[in-house]
Structure 1
Amino acid sequence: MTTSNMPDEPYYTSEQIPIPPELPDILLQFSKAAIRTQPGDVLAWSAAYFRALANGETPPVKERLEMPVATQKTDTGLTMGLLKILHKQLSPKGTLPLVDIRKKFDDVNIPREQYDEIVQIGSFNVDAQWDHFLAIAVSKVAKNMTDTLIKICELLTSDPPGANARIPFEQWKKYYRYLAEIDGDIREPHIKEVIDYLANEWVIRQNGMIHPRNFIHPECPKLEG
């Protein structure tokens, strides 16, 4: 009979092992967040998740499970759910260094080429205004400018899902003007025609708010010109 030189490992009962009281809830919330977010790189996302919690920041967590979009022919790694995460994290900062935006994109595993293309389209250098960066990012998952602005309303609204997706008209105008500037083919007289129609026909009756049904109305001038 052979005997092992290894000492017997101590045996602990559950009563002998102290478990931090907050640990079960932390692990539960982490598991729920991972299931909702479905990160491509679980380890990298987990590091970003706990780093955000430790720093008192908004963690990279989707509000709900995001199903694949049938109209999106290729998986670009960029989705409205991820953009909503990024908006929550970055919008309070207004204008911020591009390196900070890139890091947040990396945290949610958005391919670097997507980030690079947005930077190129926006001609961003060292810093970027987050609203401008977001507008271009949304346009990359939209079919056209109208669809981009619908998605922006859905992303920014305080209304519950399925409601009107209202946002302040002043905020909407800034996005529309910037996207028109990026487009390059929409002239100022047409932009003014769109804004005047919406302001006089709808916004004046909606306490300064606008929602997608206003600018997709048949009588509204086409946003694209």
Structure 2
Amino acid sequence: MPQLDKPFVIPPELPELLKQYTQAAIRTRPPDLIQWSTQYFTALQNGDPLPIKELSERISLSDWAVLTPELLKFLHTKLAGRLTIETSELLDLWKAQNLPIDIFETIVIVGRLADEIDWLKFFVLACSSLGVTIAKTLKIACEILSTERETGAPRIPFSTFQFLYTFLADVDGEVSKTQVDRMLTYLQHEIIGPDELIKVSDFINNPKVRLE
């Protein structure tokens, strides 16, 4: 009889393989992720050049014009403070704004988001399609999430910034945990005031802050 209780062993190369695949998907941002994934793993198996596009080859920002900060702000407002949302419900909201389904699917896969989506994770990955770099992505996120746009510089709670930055760095895979911890510690102890809020200029124009 087969040994059904034999422990399943995860191949040691699997985490690194998935990490490299995720990084390639973020760099390339293919319009059809499933088709591109097939090409990627076929090329990997055959030892052929991988279908990865670098920064100079990426889709131009004009191709993403249908996704705007204003639409992301609208979606954030529609959620009215909810932290999680069912994938099907969010997809319905996405479709209602005539936003491309392939972008939605890419965000869900790259972010490793399940049936119940953490909205802020989805949101910041959507911002990344507009911001490209981590710093610019966080700038867009801060400007959208801020409730002080009419009264002063956009600001958000530092705890929210910390969550978004840590998640982006983890998905990106090229920013070390040491770098993340060092930047967050510096911002928290040297920049953030007693109100525990962070503004864009704290991390964009500060020469001591390097988020990438």
TM > 0.5: yes
Counterpart code for 2:130:
V
The residue that corresponds to 1:123 in the other structure is: 112
The residue that corresponds to 1:142 in the other structure is: 131
SS state of the match for residue 178, structure 2?
A: helix
* Residue 197 (structure 1) shift: 1.1
Match among 212, 220, 223 for residue 200 of structure 2: 212
Does the aligned pair in 2 maintain the 1:167–1:210 contact within 8 Å? yes
Seen in structure 2, the aligned counterparts of structure 1 residues 145 and 91 have a Cα distance that, compared at 3 Å, is farther
Following the alignment from structure 1 to structure 2, what is the Cα–Cα distance between the partners of residues 119 and 93?
A: 18
Aligned counterparts, 1:59-98, within 5 A: 72-98=61-87
The residue that corresponds to 1:110 in the other structure is: 99
Q: How large is the Cα RMSD of the aligned pairs?
A: 1.7
SS state of the match for residue 118, structure 1?
A: helix
Match among 176, 183, 198 for residue 194 of structure 1: 183
Does the aligned pair in 1 maintain the 2:143–2:149 contact within 8 Å? no
Following the alignment from structure 2 to structure 1, what is the Cα–Cα distance between the partners of residues 154 and 122?
A: 21
Higher helix share: 2
Structure 2 regions of 5+ residues with no counterpart?
1-59
Identity of aligned residues (%): 26
Deviations 1:146-190 (A, max 9, x none): 000001110011112583111111111011111111111111111
SS state of the match for residue 160, structure 1?
A: coil
* Residue 91 (structure 1) shift: 5.0
* Residue 75 (structure 1) shift: 3.9
* Residue 221 (structure 1) shift: 2.8
Match among 136, 153, 171 for residue 164 of structure 1: 153
Structure showing greater radius of gyration is 1
Seen in structure 2, the aligned counterparts of structure 1 residues 72 and 179 have a Cα distance that, compared at 3 Å, is same
SS state of the match for residue 152, structure 1?
A: helix
Following the alignment from structure 1 to structure 2, what is the Cα–Cα distance between the partners of residues 81 and 159?
A: 16
